[in-house]
Amino acid sequence: MVRIRAVLGDIVEQDVDAVVNAASTQMRGGGGVDGAIHRAAGPGLLRECIERFPHGLATGDAGWTSAGDMRARWIIHTVGPNFAAGNTERSLLVSCYRRSLEVADELGARSIAFPLVSAGIYGWPREDAIRVAVRTIAETPTLVEEARIVTLDQGTLERIRGELGSRVPWLVLRAVRVLHERGFHQLRVWPGLSPSGMHWRVSISPSDNLHGREHREGYVDSERVLRYTTGSSCSLAGEEVTIASPPEEVADIVLRAFPGLEPSPTDSEYVIWFAELLELVDREGSLPIAYADEHDDSRGWELGNTGVFHPHPPPVPGR
């Protein structure tokens, strides 16, 4: 799985195997990222573009040249749709990222840096440009190990990070399900909202660390609790998790937070209950809430604010 990073900086200075250029169909240089890359690579880039692309390049397609004087080894050129000129076909923007990764695989590139294609002078709405970039890179099969999305703007950087972290809560829940399948039945979760209501958060802990019968009564040892909040975006136990992280990899992060924990397949009732909870999460598209300020939990855990509830978890065996 490709590791996706949001990077604040100049794309021409990225120390990667391949840099992606937001080119024009003529492939003869231009403004914005295209002009910056041509200036950084040197005059030989234009000569190579004329030689390799005598008839230009189609919108949504990608091709490569050497990188001239840049740190990168290759430049992968792709032509995004010009939203400002009326080309609003989203599939073409998606194709830019897919084709760029395909070309990177053909070259054997293991690291790549993307600009936000079409989000500059071509006028593609920035939020959607970010969404397309992150999700397409994450969903495209590739041998690339690291993909950077590079921007000069701090606000855009934060938006990219937000998109990268948008599915992390679902991944954390699925990681617990993976660990249940590995036999770690004792791992339990307790999700809720921060006092401000702005962030969803969840605690994960072995059942023998719980006071009494219910999770809300607290923990015997606060050091044996792994906590995640959407306020920390992509950080779980000090490690980075993004939309592209496999649940199995996230499960390994969770397990590393509990050194010495051994499988204990002794709570099938909770495992079944939790699996049913995740089915509801998928169906409703909302995260579970066990607690929040002024939250009525008498009917169980609510899925967001949908009015759909899941029963309270079963008690810990032997309690």
CA separation for the pair 291, 190 (Å, rounded): 8
Cα atoms in the 13 Å half-sphere on the side-chain side of 318: 7
Q: Which residues are annotated as catalytic?
A: 34
CA angle centred on 242, ends 1 and 33, rounded to 5°: 85
* Structure-token pair, residue 276: 């049913």
- In 3D space, the residue among 105, 103, 114 whose CA is nearest the CA of residue 6 turns out to be 114
- CA distance readout (Å), 79 to 56, 139, 196: 10, 20, 43
Q: Which residues are registered as beta bridge partners of 22?
A: 78
CA separation for the pair 42, 124 (Å, rounded): 28
Quick check: helix, strand or coil at residue 178? helix
Which residues does 302 contact at the CB level (< 8 Å), separation at least 6? 288, 289, 295, 308, 309
- Considering only CA atoms, give the Rg of the chain: 24
- Where exactly are the structural domains of the chain? 3-164, 168-310
The per-residue pLDDT string of the chain (319 residues; one tens digit each, 9 = 90 and over) reads 688 999 999 999 999 999 999 999 999 998 899 999 999 999 999 999 999 999 999 999 999 999 999 999 999 999 999 999 999 999 999 999 999 999 999 999 999 999 999 999 999 999 999 999 999 999 999 999 999 999 999 999 999 988 988 889 999 999 999 999 999 999 999 999 988 888 999 999 999 998 765 545 578 888 999 999 998 878 899 998 888 888 999 999 999 999 999 999 999 999 999 999 999 999 988 999 998 887 778 889 999 989 999 999 999 887 7
Q: Say whether domain 3-164 belongs to CATH 2.102.10.10.
A: no
Q: For residue 119, which phi and psi values (nearest 5 degrees)?
A: -85, -5
- In 3D space, the residue among 280, 277, 275 whose CA is nearest the CA of residue 306 turns out to be 280
Q: For residue 233, which phi and psi values (nearest 5 degrees)?
A: 55, -100
Look at the alpha carbons of 120, 245, 285, 293 in this order and tell me if their dihedral is positive or negative. Answer: negative
Q: What is the pTM of this model?
A: 0.78
- pLDDT, residue 112, reads 98
Which residues does 178 contact at the CB level (< 8 Å), separation at least 6? 247, 248, 250, 251
CA separation for the pair 38, 11 (Å, rounded): 12
